[in-house]
C-alpha cells in the first residue's frame, strides 16, 4: 500500500518552499498498474521509489509525494458505521488514564472499532462488546485494515455483564452506559478507570449519578474538549470557519476500593 499526496498548497518560509495543511491524498492498494489522479497519471514504476520521493504525472508534470502509509494514515480511512469518537477525545482518555503496553482494556460498543483500534495500538489487549452483527462486520474490516491482532470482539450485550477481571481501563460509548456501571466496578482492578463517552449531557449525568452510588467508585470529572482549528498562512492567521463542533462528553470514574 502507498500514499500519494498532491503537492500544490505551498508556503514560502525563510525563502524556502514548504508544504502546508492537509493535501489531496490517494491511497494505492494495487501497485501493479498506473494511478489515475485528478491531475494526471502516475506511472506504476514510480510507486516502487523510496519513501518521500517526488513523482511527476506523465502528461501534466504535476508533483506528488510518495509515502508509506503509517498507522494514522490508515486510521483516518476507517469506515465509520456507526459514528466514531474523534481523536481529540481519544487523546484525553489515553492521557488521563495513563494506559500503556501492559494495560488490558474492555470497551463497548465496538461500533466501527475506531476507539478499540486506537487503544489497541498502545495497550496490551482490548476486549470489545458489541450487540449488532452488522457493526461487528464493519469493525472487523477496520481491524484488518490496520493489521491489529490484539482485539477480541465479543458479540454480547454488555448490560448483561463483563466476563473479564482485573481490567485497567473500561470505555463505554453506549446509549445507556449507566446500565453497565456495576459490571465495570466488578471487572476493574483497584486504581483502574472507567470512562464513558456520551453525545448528550443528560446521558453523561445519568451515568455519573449511577457511578456515584457505587462506593467502590470515585466520580472524578465530566469534560468536553473543544477543538478550534486555525489558519496559519503568511499573515492570514485566524480561526478557521470550519471544524469539529460538538462531539461528546467524557466522564472519568476511578475504582478506588475493592
Ligand atoms: C456510537 S457506537 C460506538 C463507536 C465506537 N466507540 C467507535 O469508536 O467506533 C455505539 C455502539 O454500541 C453498540 N451497543 C449499543 N448497546 C449495546 C450493548 N448493550 N452492548 C454492546 N454493544 C452495544 C451499538 O450497536 C453501536 O455499535
Mutate to test the pocket of ligand 1, among 131, 146, 154, 169 (most ligand atoms within 8 A of CB): 131
Summarize pLDDT for 16-62 with one digit per residue, the tens: 766 666 678 899 999 999 999 988 999 999 999 999 999 999 988 88
Q: How far apart are CA 8 and CA 236, in angstroms?
A: 18
Q: How far apart are CA 258 and CA 98, in angstroms?
A: 20
Whole-model pTM above 0.85?
yes
pLDDT at 179: 98
Q: How far is the CA of 57 from the centre of ligand 1 (A)?
A: 44
Same domain? 62 vs 172: no
- Numbers of helices and strands, H then E, in the chain: 6, 17
Same domain? 23 vs 8: yes
What cell numbers appear for 86 in the block?
474523534
Pick from 253, 175, 247: which is nearest to 221 by CA?
253
* Residue nearest to ligand 1 atom 14, measured at CA: 109
| Cβ of 111 less than 6 Å from ligand 1 | yes
Last residue of a domain, one of 69, 94, 112: 69
Mutate to test the pocket of ligand 1, among 109, 129, 132, 133 (most ligand atoms within 8 A of CB): 109
| Cβ of 216 less than 6 Å from ligand 1 | no
Q: How many domains does the chain have?
A: 2
Which residues, 6+ apart, have CB-to-CB distance to 117 below 8 Å? 75, 78, 142, 143, 146, 148, 151
Q: How far apart are CA 128 and CA 170, in angstroms?
A: 9
Q: C-alpha distances in angstroms, 91 versus 3, 174, 227? A: 25, 19, 12
Same domain? 49 vs 132: no
pLDDT at 98: 98
Q: How far is the CA of 175 from the centre of ligand 1 (A)?
A: 8
Last residue of a domain, one of 69, 88, 107: 69
Same domain? 46 vs 151: no
Q: How far is the CA of 54 from the centre of ligand 1 (A)?
A: 42
Q: How far is the CA of 157 from the centre of ligand 1 (A)?
A: 10
Question: Quick check: bond before 43 cis, omega within 30?
Answer: no
CATH label of the domain that carries residue 45: 3.10.330
| Cβ of 126 less than 6 Å from ligand 1 | no
Same domain? 32 vs 132: no
Same domain? 222 vs 248: yes
CATH label of the domain that carries residue 172: 3.40.50.150
Q: How far apart are CA 201 and CA 197, in angstroms?
A: 10
Last residue of a domain, one of 13, 44, 69: 69
Decide if 246 contacts 195 (C-beta within 8 A): no
Residue pLDDT tens, the chain, 258 long: 999 988 766 677 777 766 666 678 899 999 999 999 988 999 999 999 999 999 999 988 888 999 999 999 999 999 999 899 999 999 999 999 999 999 999 999 999 999 999 999 999 999 999 999 999 999 999 999 999 999 999 999 999 999 999 999 999 999 999 999 999 999 999 999 999 999 999 999 999 999 999 999 999 999 999 998 888 877 889 998 876 678 999 999 999 999
Q: How far is the CA of 47 from the centre of ligand 1 (A)?
A: 39
The range of the structural domain enclosing residue 64 comes to 2-69
pLDDT at 171: 99
pLDDT at 20: 65
Amino acid at each position: 500500500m502507498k500514499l500519494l499526496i498532491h503537492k500544490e498548497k505551498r508556503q514560502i518560509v525563510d525563502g524556502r518552499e514548504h508544504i502546508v495543511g492537509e493535501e489531496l491524498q490517494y491511497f494505492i492498494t494495487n501497485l501493479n498498474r498506473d494511478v489515475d489522479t485528478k491531475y494526471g497519471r502516475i506511472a506504476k514504476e514510480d510507486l516502487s521509489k523510496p519513501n518521500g520521493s517526488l513523482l511527476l504525472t506523465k502528461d501534466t508534470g504535476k508533483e506528488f509525494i510518495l509515502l508509506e502509509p503509517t498507522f494514522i494514515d490508515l486510521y483516518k480511512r476507517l469506515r465509520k458505521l456507526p459514528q466514531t469518537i474523534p481523536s481529540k477525545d481519544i487523546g484525553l482518555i489515553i492521557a488521563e488514564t495513563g494506559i500503556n503496553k501492559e494495560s488490558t482494556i474492555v470497551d463497548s460498543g465496538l461500533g466501527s472499532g475506531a476507539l478499540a483500534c486506537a487503544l489497541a495500538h498502545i495497550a496490551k489487549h482490548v476486549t470489545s462488546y458489541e450487540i449488532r452483527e452488522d457493526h461487528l462486520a464493519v469493525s472487523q474490516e477496520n481491524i484488518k485494515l490496520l493489521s491489529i491482532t490484539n482485539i477480541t470482539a465479543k458479540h454480547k450485550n454488555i448490560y448483561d455483564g463483563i466476563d473479564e477481571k482485573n481490567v485497567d481501563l473500561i470505555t463505554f460509548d453506549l446509549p445507556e452506559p449507566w446500565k453497565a456501571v456495576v459490571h465495570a466496578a466488578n471487572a476493574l482492578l483497584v486504581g483502574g478507570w472507567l470512562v464513558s463517552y456520551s453525545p448528550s449531557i443528560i446521558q453523561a449525568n445519568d451515568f455519573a449519578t449511577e457511578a456515584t452510588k457505587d462506593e467502590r467508585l470515585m466520580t472524578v470529572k465530566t469534560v468536553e474538549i473543544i477543538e478550534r482549528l486555525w489558519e496559519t498562512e503568511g499573515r492570514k492567521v485566524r480561526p478557521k470557519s470550519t471544524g469539529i463542533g460538538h462531539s461528546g462528553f467524557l466522564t472519568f470514574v476511578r475504582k478506588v476500593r475493592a
